[in-house]
Amino acid sequence: MLRQNDSTSAQSEREIIITRIFNAPRELVFQAWTDPKHITQWWGPKGFTTRVTELDLRPGGQWRYVMVGSDGTEYPAKGVFHEIVPPERIVSSDEFDEGFEQVINADLPQGIIMTVMFEELNGQTKLTLQILHTSASDRRKHEQMGVIAGWNSSFDCLDEFLAKQVKQQHNGFTLTLPSDREIVVTRIFNAPRRQVYEAWTQPEHVKRWFGGCSTMTMTVCEIDLRVGGNWRYVLHDSSNSTEHAFSGEYCEIVPPERLVATERYEPVPNSDHLNTLTLTEIDGKTTLHIHILHQSREQRDGHLQSGMEEGLRQTLNRFEELLKSTG
């Protein structure tokens, strides 16, 4: 059954058109559709995960995504962008990549053109997905594969993802990628800078918020807060009895404004990167700014693909709860 804001139709013998209204601004919906770190969090029906192996967002650029079912089966798809008009319209081919036919065991449709249109509706966004086939026969093949149910399930996932993004925008959470080696995170807290700095650097506070996930318990929290001093945190995950150890060295300390330190995830060799924390206070509120500099694009992408964004969101949410309790 479709929701009231869903619509599916066949406008011609070769078309499938699916629409959905999302309670999010158009720029955010367009970003969720085009940013690899967002795509991996919603693309595909419920129960699937997705890897983005290629995304060159320009006319003539290629994309390739691999959906993975709960049983580990992979469903690769690819295409070439024909037209991109941010944040209004994207047109691309949509092809089943090599190996797809082996897991579907069906006569796959060919030559599909996918057009996605984003329309602003008073702060909401109407998304229209047009799937154009080379023939009515190919359209029917696609329908028999479950394309309509699959896209509606994907849109359910997108709806949930956007709801989280909208909520996080209210507290100023952003994650951007200024260059191939950088990640920049910001978050606004309703607390003075001195309080934020102390909660970030004192072990008795760090033990209460670092790690984010409810299954994590901090078993080691060592902080030698001086230039050249070391820090080390160890988290125990009760869900799988795994330990996660992080450590580094302080390079620069300017209380309560700035903290620069290296960080490594101990189980992964050569994972060292540089973190710069900057705190800015305006009218009793503090903007936390974390600049993460990696050694290479591959290292940065590995960090992102590890689930760091969602983990950091959860961690900062717990940090906010701590600030409220100590304020």
CATH of the domain at 196: 3.30.530.20
Dump pLDDT digits (tens) for 22-66: 999 898 899 999 999 899 999 999 999 999 999 999 999 999 999
Residue 28: inside a domain, yes or no?
Answer: yes
- Whether residue 221 sits in one domain with residue 110: no
Long-range pairs for 310-318: beta carbons < 8 A, 24 or more residues apart:
310/41, 311/212, 311/213, 312/175, 312/185, 312/212, 313/168, 313/173, 313/212, 314/212, 314/213, 315/209, 315/210, 315/211, 315/212, 316/173, 316/187, 316/212, 316/288, 317/212, 318/208, 318/209, 318/211, 318/212
Dump pLDDT digits (tens) for 218-249: 999 999 999 999 999 999 988 788 899 999 99
- Whether residue 181 sits in one domain with residue 119: no
Dump pLDDT digits (tens) for 122-152: 889 999 999 999 999 999 999 999 999 999 9
Residue 85: inside a domain, yes or no?
Answer: yes
pTM (two decimals)? 0.56
Total domains in the chain come to 2
Domain boundary (145, 164, 183) is at: 164
- Whether residue 120 sits in one domain with residue 188: no
Domain boundary (164, 189, 214) is at: 164
Two structure tokens written together for 319: 């940090």
SS3 state at 205? helix
Answer for the pair 300, 181: CB distance below 8 angstroms, yes or no.
yes
Type of residue numbered 43: W
- Whether residue 122 sits in one domain with residue 102: yes
- Whether residue 128 sits in one domain with residue 57: yes
- Whether residue 180 sits in one domain with residue 320: yes
Q: How confident is the model at residue 166 (pLDDT cuts 50, 70, 90)?
A: confident
Domain boundary (164, 198, 229) is at: 164
Domain assignment of residue 11, given as a range? 6-164
Residue 169: inside a domain, yes or no?
Answer: no
Residue 1: inside a domain, yes or no?
Answer: no
- Whether residue 244 sits in one domain with residue 133: no
- Whether residue 210 sits in one domain with residue 301: yes
pLDDT at 171 over 70: no
- Whether residue 126 sits in one domain with residue 26: yes
SS3 state at 308? helix
- Whether residue 160 sits in one domain with residue 51: yes
**Chain-centre distance for alpha carbon 197:** 27
